C-alpha cells in the first residue's frame, strides 16, 4: 500500500524538463502556459514578425484559435496571406532561396521550444547584439554566427554589447521591460505550439489520479471484506 502510493507520487513531477544547454547566456524564461492573454499576444506577434520567414507547419490556424480563445474571424484577420484558417501554418518564404540569402534556411519553429528549450528560446530573442563583422550586422550570444537578421530591432532598438556582457538597446519602440515581455509572450506561444496537448494532458491527469485514488480505496475495502473471515 505504502509502496503503491510512493510509486504514484514518483510519477507526479511533469516530464517536461527541457534542456537549456550549458551556454552561460541562457537565462530562465518565466512563462505561464495558463496565461491566455500572453499566449494570444505571442501568437499575434509570431504571425506579424516571424511568419514572413518561419513556419509552424505542424500546427493549424484553426487549432491555435480554438486553444487560445480567438474567434475564427479574429484569426482570419491575423493571417497575412490568403491562407484559410483550416490550413497549416506555412510561411510563403521559398526555402531554397532563403538558404542562399541567409546562409541557412529559416527552420520550422513548431517544435523549437522542445528541441532547444523555452529558456534558450527566450534568451535567443534577447541576445542579439550589433556586430559589424556579420553579414546582417548582428550576432547572437546564445547562437554565435547566427544567419537570422535581428528582425525585432525596430521594437527592441539597437542592441549594443557592453563590456560587462550585458546588452543595452536604444531607439526601439518598446522599453527594455516591454521588449522582455514581448519575448516572453513569443516564447510562451512557441512553447504551447511545441506541445499543444500539454494543457489538456495536465488537466486530465488530475482526473486520472483522482480515479486511481478512489479505486484504491474501493479495492482496499473489498480486500478487507473478502479476508474478514479468513484467519
Ligand atoms: C528575414 C527572415 C527571418 C525572420 C523574419 C525571422 N527569422 Fe528566425 N531565422 C531566420 C534564419 C535564416 C534562421 C537560421 C539561422 C541559422 O541557422 O544560422 C533563423 C533561425 C531562428 C531560430 C533558431 C532555430 C534553431 O533551432 O536553429 C529561432 C528560434 C528563430 N529563428 C526565431 C524567430 C522568431 C521568434 C522570429 C519572429 C520574431 C523570427 N525568427 C523571424 C530567418 C528569419
Q: Where are the domains of the chain?
A: 21-122+176-224
**Considering only CA atoms, which residue is closest to atom 29 of ligand 1?**
121
Helices (H), 12-168: 36-49, 61-68, 72-78, 95-102, 112-115, 118-125, 153-156
Q: How confident is the model at residue 149 (pLDDT cuts 50, 70, 90)?
A: very high
Distance CA 159, CA 169 (A): 4
Residue in 104, 107, 184 to alter for ligand 1 test, most ligand atoms within 8 A of Cβ: 107
Q: Is the pLDDT of residue 219 over 70?
A: yes
Instruction: Check if 151 has its Cβ closer than 6 Å to any atom of ligand 1.
Output: yes
Q: Per residue in 99-112, is it b (16+ CB within 10 Å) or e — as a string? A: eebbeebbebbbbb
What is the grid cell recorded at 28?
Answer: 530562465
| Cell numbers that stand for 185 in this block | 509572450
Run of H or E residues at 145: none
- Residue-level pLDDT at 10: 67
| CA separation for the pair 35, 141 (Å, rounded) | 28
For the full predicted model, state whether its pTM sits above 0.85. Answer: no
Q: Are 189 and 196 in contact (CB under 8 A)?
A: no
Choose the CATH number for 21-122+176-224 among 3.40.50.300, 1.10.760.10, 1.25.40.20, 3.30.70.20.
1.10.760.10
Return mean pLDDT, the chain. Answer: 91
**13, pLDDT greater than 90:** no
More confident residue, 24 or 231: 24
d(CA 189, CA 192): 5
**Chain-centre distance of CA 47, in angstroms?**
14
Question: Three-class SS of residue 17?
Answer: coil
Of the chain, the percentage scoring pLDDT greater than 70 comes to: 93
Q: Answer yes or no: is the C-beta of 89 below 6 A from any ligand 1 atom.
A: no
| Ligand 1 atom with the shortest distance to the CA of 93 | 2
Distance CA 157, CA 201 (A): 39
Amino acid at each position: 500500500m505504502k509502496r503503491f502510493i510512493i510509486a504514484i507520487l514518483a510519477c507526479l513531477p511533469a516530464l517536461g524538463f527541457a534542456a537549456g544547454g550549458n551556454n552561460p547566456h541562457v537565462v530562465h524564461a518565466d512563462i505561464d502556459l495558463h496565461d491566455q492573454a500572453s499566449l494570444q499576444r505571442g501568437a499575434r506577434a509570431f504571425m506579424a514578425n516571424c511568419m514572413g520567414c518561419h513556419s509552424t507547419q505542424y500546427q493549424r490556424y484553426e487549432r491555435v484559435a480554438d486553444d487560445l480563445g480567438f474567434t475564427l474571424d479574429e484569426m482570419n484577420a491575423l493571417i497575412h496571406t490568403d491562407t484559410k484558417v483550416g490550413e497549416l501554418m506555412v510561411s510563403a518564404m521559398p526555402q531554397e532561396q532563403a538558404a542562399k540569402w541567409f546562409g541557412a534556411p529559416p527552420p520550422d519553429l513548431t517544435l523549437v521550444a522542445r528541441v532547444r528549450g523555452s529558456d534558450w528560446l527566450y534568451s535567443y530573442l534577447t541576445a542579439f547584439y550589433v556586430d559589424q563583422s556579420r553579414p546582417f550586422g548582428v550576432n547572437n550570444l546564445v547562437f554565435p554566427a547566427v544567419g537570422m537578421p535581428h528582425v525585432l530591432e525596430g521594437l527592441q532598438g539597437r542592441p549594443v554589447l557592453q563590456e560587462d556582457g550585458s546588452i543595452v538597446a536604444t531607439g526601439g519602440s518598446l522599453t527594455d521591460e516591454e521588449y522582455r515581455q514581448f519575448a516572453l509572450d513569443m516564447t510562451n506561444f512557441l512553447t504551447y505550439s511545441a506541445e499543444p496537448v500539454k494543457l489538456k494532458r495536465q488537466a486530465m491527469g488530475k482526473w486520472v489520479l483522482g480515479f486511481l485514488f478512489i479505486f484504491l480505496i474501493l479495492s482496499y475495502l473489498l480486500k478487507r471484506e473478502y479476508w474478514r473471515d479468513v484467519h
